[in-house]
Structure 1
Amino acid sequence: MSRPSTRVMAKVLLVLVVSLVATTAAFAAKSGTKAVPTLVVDKSFEIKTADPQRAFEPTASIVNRAVFDTLFTYKGSDVAHPVPLLVQSWKASSDAKTFTFQLRKDVRFADGTPLTSADVVFSLRRLVRLKGNPSFLLDGVTVSAAGKYRVLMRSANANSALPAILANTSLSIVNSKLVKKNGGTDAADADKTDKAEQWFNSPKSLGAGSGPYVLKQYSTSSQIVLAPNPKYWGQSKPAFSSVVVRNMIAPTQLINVQRGKYEVAIDLSAQQAQTIQGSKSLSVLTTPSTWVFFLFANNDPKVSGFASNKNFQRGVRYALDYKAIAGVAGPGAIQAPGIIPSMFLGALPQSSAVKQDLAKAKAAFAASGLADQKITLEFPSSLTINGVLFDSLAQKVQANLQAAGLNVELAGAPVGTWLQRYRDGKMPFGLSLWGPDYPDPSDYLAFLPGELVGLRAGWPAGSEKTVEALGATARVTTNDAARERLYQTIQKRLNAYGPFFPLLQPTQVFVATKDLATAKFNSVYSIDVTQTKPKG
């Protein structure tokens, strides 16, 4: 299929603008209020459904954050501290297995129906029983009502991350009565019997959510349009007469945001961002992403004699030129001082990052006895994350290690092939990355001995008892200050004794027109349109 001409695209855009103006005017006439601007969010779509309990993609988070409410949320760009939204107050047991939530009593869905504990129980049970992509978020958690506005959650394992998990839009609270009328169910066989998805994907689902906006138009390939919820219960009313989320590739986003008003672009590269840094009409933010790239050396001598060699691991740690490695990702990227991203609770400061020391590296490699043995570094070839090509990163690591005296050969493989070897724990020396399932440091306990990533690196339980004991304490600790100290100590221990070598956090670009007063990037929602307002 040929690419449409510029003239054709201009006509299409003109039709869209006319349509949006008509929508704005119609809303103003119906509500009797003064017309306010349309917010436009350009995003490369990765969305499959508007059904919140089935959705687990970034574009869906933008939409569902506007239409539905969750028990907790975040303020601005701060994802280290979840704050109550539908919750009035809450408490956790000392073992972090039982949580009690008192709900607000003033919440109404968009059709006027009061929100109660029955809606919370239905929504979260439905999430689990649909057995979709986000169902794992409540693995081992049972939900029950203890009154009209009180909810109990019990976790089979210590779960200090629960408030952060409950801020995910997949855990949105829906109008249980209305959803049931339209084919929804939280029954044990919901994965086979629930029929509400198509209804959620249409404007007919008005009343399903309690957020400040409702779904007006929905497409997984072109655009999604939201309109104000006239019955919104919160104090901060919808700021825009409509919100349009458009499916646009990055080059088109770059053009649009320079021409637009009340507009946001989310997918630009660091290099594209540099071309508009001096713009008088745009706010250009380049910040570290939540992705963390890291090297690992398999600790299992049965998998690799060289990788499990502690002198080899020590040599790798000090041979790397971390500043140059971060430079591969462009402006805004930083060295990862630990495995927990810089914006999360418990992240290490940059002052704690490992520094290159070639003298230490060469001494460690000499002590390893590896001499000129060929070392193979495996990585997923032709894979780019946040503008970082794994091939380029692998080449930079290779150059650093060779400068310290190692004989390193690169072995790129298709993503599927590489991923299978990595997950099987059969890869001696590899380049990988980790993106959070939820913005809480407990998600990174996966790197400890005997845990998911630890086992992939040949690090079974009992390998490093000090860090394992710290991890066990962290799991049941709910006080933020105590948690921060614990997770920082864990990372320092990992940096000293673990088989992991954190490298960098790549760049996240967020561009907004300056006529927006409060447009901020949020790593959970990309942008929280409920907190975005025009100037004036």
Structure 2
Amino acid sequence: MRTSPRYTGIAIGAVAALLLAGCSGGNSAQNTDDASGGSVVIDAAFSIETADPGNTYDPTGNMVAKALYETLVDFKGSDVTTPIPGLADWTQNDAATEFTFTLDDGRVFSDGSPITADDVVFSLQRIQGMADAKPAFLLAGVTIEKVDEKTIKFTTETPLLQLPAILANPALGIVNSKVVEKNGGATDGTDTAQAFLDGESAGSGPFVLDSLDLTSQVVLTRNAEYNGDEEASYDRVVIRNVTESATQKINLEGGDTMVAMDLNGDQVSNLADNLTVASVPSAQTIFLLVNQNATVGGVTANPKFAEAVRYALDYDALLELAGTGASEATGVIPPSFAGALADGVKQDLAASTAALTASGYTGETVRLQYPNDYPVGGVEFTPLAERVQAQLKDAGINVELAPAPFTTEIDPYVNGTEAFSMWFWGPDYADTANFLPFAPGLKVGLRAGWTAEANPEIADLAMQAAAATDPDTREAIFTDFATAMQKDGPFVPLIVPGSNIATAKTVTGAVYNAVWTMDIAELSPTS
């Protein structure tokens, strides 16, 4: 196998939150078996909109999709620097524009039917055909064609060193084409299979879907037909929506859950001795978005306003809210990725005042929108937003906080209709190209109303980075991109949270992953 010459990433992930706080009881971990074949209960702050892999693009959604569906490429444990074969092995040409994948022999779906090249082509072309599917951009510019029953060829319009890593994203899980087509699946944009896949899975992963309730819990059961190398140790997995990290801690210490996904650094520092904690740096970045579309943002659309916000903040004081393991975000590229800046912006109130005057701001109240049930790596958005509000007030910027549930905020954020908001971004695969969407004219840039025409220089740097094939040259371009973004971009990176996962002593194998948060199939009884 010839893989890409270099992937740069970190072996962790983080969890975001969604919807209402869960409660203890119901599926008490105290009533589960410790032996293999029993059940495991996981508390997580939900960020999930569907169990359909082709439409999922959220941390909890990715974790569930990873358990239900297999991908062509995989990573081992927490190591996301080196792609390894999943359902297939592969070769690629020197220009990184042609990739040939060969499926493993004998692999089957949960109904026992064989996995074929037709299933792969259908699964990925289905996503390409759904223009509104969140993961569709992962396959932009990629042509996928069947060579024979076991072989699939991928051709890219430009060099795409990171394609194998991209194909490890759980959103690109392979579905049983016959089952999904029978239930509304299509590759021409008319797909209606999501409703079916929210009630019944059609994959080859270690688990199958038992039930899905986006507001309370997801239940998985063992896939009896699974014949891969990640066989489940538990017959049943219950993932509960518990949005408050304090409640997760209480549940874990009280024996009502076995895995807590969202504890912050302060909470894990004083857990009981009989609990295990894995703390690692996060690949997530919490940032402020300052919309550049005058129709949406009004005064925020002046680039000088974003500059004023950037220099008004005391980043060390903001970092105090994040706890152990967190660090200041030095730019849109997290510190552990190639091209990241060594140092972040420092507070400069004089520079902020000058930029604010130049922006034409005259004291208008600006609404700061954010999801209020959305802890990232244990960082609660409300206290962070309150501290941002106070610091901006001291700098002469009036801010009104406008919190709302994730389900209310996600659509206006994605559609670019928020003037001033707080969100987060995490990697989709283990490569710095993950952060190019912040560029003008690209996915996140457009959410900020930032077109390519607004800053052609940064748009060009993003294009150069995407096309580079020499690792050293590519890293230097990424550094130039990050530098330019910190100077002129409409984003104000705040914090890279730490990531903590805590487990009962009866459970082992809970490891963070930058792409799918945690591989549920790796959980097993300690005994």
- Tell me, yes or no, if structure 1 residue 383 matches structure 2 residue 377: no
Superposition RMSD in Å:
4.3
Alignment of 1:84-103 (within 5 A): 84-91=85-92, 94=95, 98-103=98-103
Q: 1:438 aligns with which of 415, 419, 428?
A: 428
Match of 2:108 in 1: 108
Q: Contact 1:372–1:407 (CA<8 Å) still a contact in 2?
A: no
Measured at CA, do residues 61 and 355 of structure 1 come closer, stay the same or move farther in structure 2, by a change above 3 Å?
same
- Tell me, yes or no, if structure 1 residue 201 matches structure 2 residue 217: no
Q: 1:346 aligns with which of 338, 341, 344?
A: 338
Greater RCO (Cα-Cα under 8 Å, separation 6 or more):
2
Measured at CA, do residues 258 and 484 of structure 1 come closer, stay the same or move farther in structure 2, by a change above 3 Å?
farther
Match of 2:177 in 1: 176
Alignment of 1:413-432 (within 5 A): 413=402, 427=419, 430-432=420-422
The percent of aligned pairs where both chains have the same amino acid is 31
Q: Contact 1:294–1:504 (CA<8 Å) still a contact in 2?
A: no
Q: Contact 1:374–1:407 (CA<8 Å) still a contact in 2?
A: yes
CA deviation map 1:420-472 (0-9, x unaligned):
69966894xx4433424724533432332344554566755355555333211
Alignment of 1:167-246 (within 5 A): 167-180=168-181, 183=183, 185-186=185-186, 188=188, 190-192=190-192, 194=193, 197-198=195-196, 201-202=199-200, 208-215=202-209, 217-220=210-213, 221-227=216-222, 229=224, 231-234=226-229, 236-246=230-240
SS of alignment partner, residue 101 of structure 2: strand
Measured at CA, do residues 63 and 423 of structure 1 come closer, stay the same or move farther in structure 2, by a change above 3 Å?
closer
Q: 2:276 aligns with which of 276, 282, 291?
A: 282
**C-alpha displacement of 1:279:** 3.0
Distance in 2 separating the partners of 1:102 and 1:445: 30
Alignment of 1:84-483 (within 5 A): 84-91=85-92, 94=95, 98-129=98-129, 133-134=133-134, 136-137=136-137, 138-155=139-156, 161-180=162-181, 183=183, 185-186=185-186, 188=188, 190-192=190-192, 194=193, 197-198=195-196, 201-202=199-200, 208-215=202-209, 217-220=210-213, 221-227=216-222, 229=224, 231-234=226-229, 236-248=230-242, 250=244, 252-260=247-255, 263-269=258-264, 272-276=267-271, 279-283=273-277, 285=279, 287-288=281-282, 290-294=284-288, 296=290, 298=292, 308=302, 316-342=309-335, 345-346=337-338, 348=340, 351-356=342-347, 358=348, 361-362=349-350, 365=353, 373-374=362-363, 376-380=365-369, 383-386=372-375, 392-397=383-388, 399-400=390-391, 406-413=395-402, 427=419, 430-436=420-426, 438-439=428-429, 440-454=431-445, 460-461=451-452, 464=455, 466-477=457-468, 482-483=473-474
Structure 2: runs of 5 or more not aligned: 1-22
**C-alpha displacement of 1:339:** 0.7
Structure 1: runs of 5 or more not aligned: 1-5, 25-33
Measured at CA, do residues 354 and 152 of structure 1 come closer, stay the same or move farther in structure 2, by a change above 3 Å?
same
Match of 2:43 in 1: 42
Range with bigger deviation, 65-74 or 106-115: 106-115
CA deviation map 1:50-99 (0-9, x unaligned):
443344444443333223210122333344554431231232673x6554
Distance in 2 separating the partners of 1:80 and 1:515: 30
Q: Contact 2:243–2:373 (CA<8 Å) still a contact in 1?
A: no
Q: Contact 1:283–1:514 (CA<8 Å) still a contact in 2?
A: no
- AA aligned opposite 2:400: A
Q: Rg larger in 1 or in 2?
A: 1
